[in-house]
Amino acid sequence: MPEAELKVTLISYTKDPEQTVCAAIRQCYSNKGGTELKEKTKEEVVKRLIKQIISSGHTSTIEHANFTFAVEGVSRALTHQLVRHRIASFSQQSQRYVEEKGELDYIIPPKIRKDKKALEKYEADIKKAHDDYKALVEQGIDKEDARYLLPNAAETKIVITMNARSLLNFFEKRLCTRAQWEIRRMANKMLDEVKPVAPTIFKYAGPTCETEKICWEGDLNCGKWEIIEGAELRSKT
């Protein structure tokens, strides 16, 4: 059975995302229309205003920029975590309608891959689960019921749309070393995709130890905050 490969592609985004955001910012303080404001905003003004609103925390205006990603080669364990991010749209490959015939693609956690005995057991159990799934389907059991046997490791594909504000929140939570390795790896690839098209907005993306020099994890912190100049450790309570 093959191990799935992570792929993240930015397939669509708001045209001129930072100009659009800047027009929204300026609209709050201008009697001119958004179209005129967007056309007449200089690049240096765009950068200054975006920096200003992000540093002040008044970030509702960056919600006007949207980004859509096509993601492949992730586990269903990852997508269970992903949908906890509320302000987003998700369209995921359905196990009710897409039959897992042939070989099952799956994800292997790094610690299991490094342990020979653990890896052998892991792959054997996945193969058994998939064989049992196929046997049920062949017996006439509906795919939507047989899929209950399939593991969290099973590869899935998903299309994700988030606005810039939600993405910054996502990156804050999922680029933190406290996030699980797989979703952190995906978040890094998503950030690599959006930085070239909205560099000013996503200049401020990352965990709070990097962006605000504050760690909120209390006793669960990873220790990274200690090596960042000026960083503080604050209690979660």
Predicted confidence at residue 116, as pLDDT, reads 96
Q: Tell me: pLDDT of 224 over 90.
A: no
Q: Which residues contact 212 (CB under 8 A, 6 or more apart)?
A: none
**Taking residues 33-60, what's their average pLDDT?**
84
* 97 domain residue, yes or no: no
Question: In the predicted model, what is the mean pLDDT of the chain?
Answer: 91
Are 128 and 223 in a shared domain? no
- Tell me, yes or no, whether 141 lies in a domain: yes
pLDDT digits (tens, 9 = 90+) for 68-102: 999 999 999 999 999 999 899 999 999 999 888 88
Do 16 and 49 lie in one domain? The reply is yes
Q: What pLDDT is attached to residue 235? A: 57
Q: Verify that 143 and 193 share a domain, yes or no.
A: no
In a domain, 26, yes or no: yes
Residue 194 placed within a domain = yes
Q: Is the pLDDT reported for residue 3 higher than 80?
A: no
Is 100 within the bounds of a domain? no
In a domain, residue 96? The reply is: no
48 is an active site residue: no
- β-strand pairing of 232-233 with 214-215: parallel
Structural domain includes residue 37:
yes
Q: What is the pLDDT of residue 195?
A: 97
pLDDT bracket for residue 237 (50, 70, 90): very low
Cα–Cα distance measured from residue 35 to residue 20, given in angstroms and rounded to the nearest whole number? 9
pLDDT score for 217:
87
Amino acid at 152: N
Give me the mean pLDDT over the 189-213 stretch: 95
CB 177 within 8 A of CB 226: no
Question: pLDDT band at 54, cuts 50/70/90?
Answer: very high
Same domain, 53 and 84: yes
Q: Return the HEC string of the chain.
A: CCECCCEEEEEEECCCHHHHHHHHHHHCCCCCCHHHHHHCCCHHHHHHHHHHHHHHCCCHHHHHCEEEEEEEEEEHHHHHHHCCCCCCEEEECCCCCCCCCCCCCECCCHHHHCCHHHHHHHHHHHHHHHHHHHHHHHCCCCHHHHHHHCCCCEEEEEEEEEEHHHHHHHHHHHCCCCCCHHHHHHHHHHHHHHCCCCHHHHCCCCCHHHHCCEECCHHHCCCHHHHCCCCEECCCC
* Residue-wise pLDDT tens digits, 135-190: 999 999 999 999 999 999 999 999 999 999 999 999 999 999 999 999 999 999 99
Question: Do 216 and 193 share a structural domain?
Answer: no
Q: State pTM to two decimals.
A: 0.92
* 200 & 232 share domain: no
User: Per DSSP, what are the bridge partners of residue 155?
Assistant: 75
Which amino acid, residue 22? C
The whole domain housing 215 covers 208-237
Q: Are residues 14 and 53 in the same domain?
A: yes
Q: Is the same domain home to 198 and 220?
A: no
Cα–Cα distance between 124 and 156 in angstroms, integer? 20
Cβ burial 34-49 (10 Å sphere, 16+ → b, else e): eeebbeebeeeebbeb
- List 174, 184, 185, 234, catalytic entry: 174
Report if residue 66 sits inside a domain. yes
**pLDDT attached to residue 153:** 97
Given this model, what pLDDT does residue 29 score? Answer: 80
Which pLDDT score, from 0 to 100, does residue 2 have?
Answer: 64
- Whether 78 and 172 share a structural domain: yes
How many distinct structural domains can be found in the chain? 3
**Does one domain contain both 73 and 144?**
no
d(CA 69, CA 163): 11
Query: Do 172 and 206 form a contact (C-beta atoms < 8 A)?
Result: yes
C-beta separation of 2 from 73 below 8 A = no
- In this structure, what CATH number is given to the domain that contains residue 174? 3.30.1360.170
C-alpha span between 213 and 55 (Å, rounded): 13
Residues 135, 68 share a domain: no
Structure tokens at 158: 């998903």
**Could you give the dihedral angle defined by the CA atoms of residues 172, 178, 183 and 184, in that order, rounded to the nearest 10 degrees?**
70
> Beta strand 232-233 with 7-13: parallel, antiparallel or unpaired?
unpaired
Q: Do both 20 and 77 map to the same domain?
A: yes
